[in-house]
Amino acid sequence: MNIAWDDLRTVLMLVRHQTLAGAGAALSINYTTVARRIRRVETGLGHLLFERSADGYRPTEAARIVASHAENMETSEFDLRRKLQGINPELSGCLTITAPQLLISHFLAPVLDQFDRAFPQIELRILATNDILDLTRLEADLAIRISRNPGDMLKGLRLLKQENASFAAPGMAAQIQSDPKAMIDWIVYDAIPNVPQGIDPTYPNNRVRFRFDDMVAMLGAAQAGLGVVRVPMFLGRAVAGLVEVPVLPPQPYSDVWVVGHPDVWPSEKARAFREVLIAYCKQHRANFTS
């Protein structure tokens, strides 16, 4: 008569992943165990939940109903874990931060060092990705993001105003300076596949030479002298082998924010990290604008 809640979670995972192995991996258990739990919950509820086939378990209508309620339970679990994280007074344990790779590698790395020295009991976990992680699902405790506002229902603090500008390898920079009317090759980001707006009329001839989907590769190409890139000012300045070129005058760009879920935001560990982070940003804010 009594149904195990963990079995409901197993159903949810199987509905999501369609295969025993996939669900097992998501739960960090063997797929055989998934199969056993499914059989158990099926007999317990008195409903067939999946049609077994050679290419996986196909959920029945009943399974979808189970899954949707298990999803509510999962939401409650995340709510709970965030709340507990928020009231945790310890300055020890794990703290997960996410930020764009390039922001970490070319600017934030010293913050990590400082924080680790100041709070050696806290194990810092860094997720360096351009993906927008789901802070509601506790994929990270705090996120450092480049955007116009915190977004969603998140709490946020603006760390830095920033501008972007045009950069190129020194050789190319010299060539542009010596012949402003010559054709200027641009390396642009896939998402905005045109020559930037607002180019100084001194340089009338511009074209897109390459479109990239990855900023790291773009910087490499620019370093190799393949063209001019528009990047945030801190980044162009921080990358060796690039110099600013006056083709594109500095323009306002999305700001740098630290954001977090309201539940997690007040936690001691998050507060401690923000303190170190804010101090560091204040100290180096000149890097971000002209």
Partner DNA sequence: GCAAATACACGCGTTTTTGCACGAAGGTCG
Partner DNA sequence: CGACCTTCGTGCAAAAACGCGTGTATTTGC
Of residues 88 and 147, the one with the C-beta less far from its own copies: 88
Residue 284 vs residues 21, 36, 107: alpha-carbon distances, Å: 49, 57, 9
CA distance 150 to 259: 6
* By CB under 7 A, residue 55 contacts DNA: yes
Of residues 8 and 187, the one with the C-beta less far from its own copies: 8
Of residues 35 and 226, the one with the C-beta less far from DNA: 35
Shortest Å, Cβ 74 to DNA: 18
Shortest Å, Cβ 73 to DNA: 17
* By CB under 7 A, residue 52 contacts DNA: yes
Residue in 49, 57, 173, 258 binding DNA, rule: CB under 7 A: 57
Of residues 3 and 224, the one with the C-beta less far from its own copies: 3
Residue in 16, 56, 244, 289 binding DNA, rule: CB under 7 A: 56
The phi-psi region of residue 185 (left if phi > 0; otherwise alpha if psi is between -120 and 50; otherwise beta) is beta
**Choosing among DNA, its own copies, none, which partner's interface includes residue 22 (Cβ < 5 to 8 Å by kind)?**
DNA
Residues in contact with its own copies by the rule CB under 8 A: 2-6, 8-9, 27-28, 45-47, 61-62, 65-66, 69-70, 72-73, 76-77, 79-81, 83-84, 87-88, 90, 93
> Which structure tokens are listed for 224?
């190799």
Of residues 66 and 122, the one with the C-beta less far from DNA: 66
Helix (H) or strand (E) holding 256: strand 251-260
CB contact set of 156 (below 8 Å; sequence gap of 6+): 149, 150, 257, 258, 259, 260
CB contact set of 179 (below 8 Å; sequence gap of 6+): none
* By CB under 7 A, residue 21 contacts DNA: yes
**Choosing among its own copies, DNA, none, which partner's interface includes residue 81 (Cβ < 5 to 8 Å by kind)?**
its own copies
By CB under 7 A, which span of 30-38, 127-135, 159-167, 259-267 interacts with DNA? 30-38
Strands (E), 101-238: 122-128, 142-147, 155-168, 184-189, 206-212, 228-232
74-94 b/e (C-beta count within 10 Å ≥ 16 → b): beeeeeeebeebbeeeebeee
Of residues 43 and 283, the one with the C-beta less far from DNA: 43
> Which structure tokens are listed for 105?
């590698």
| Diameter over CA atoms, the chain | 84
Residue in 1, 2, 46, 54 binding DNA, rule: CB under 7 A: 54
CA distance 101 to 288: 17
Phi, psi of 78 (to 5 degrees): -65, -40
Residue in 37, 106, 145, 230 binding DNA, rule: CB under 7 A: 37
CA distance 91 to 116: 12
**Choosing among its own copies, DNA, none, which partner's interface includes residue 3 (Cβ < 5 to 8 Å by kind)?**
its own copies
* By CB under 7 A, residue 11 contacts DNA: no
Residue in 11, 12, 20, 245 binding DNA, rule: CB under 7 A: 20
* By CB under 7 A, residue 189 contacts DNA: no
Which residues of this chain interact with DNA, rule CB under 7 A?
19-22, 28-33, 35-37, 40, 52-57
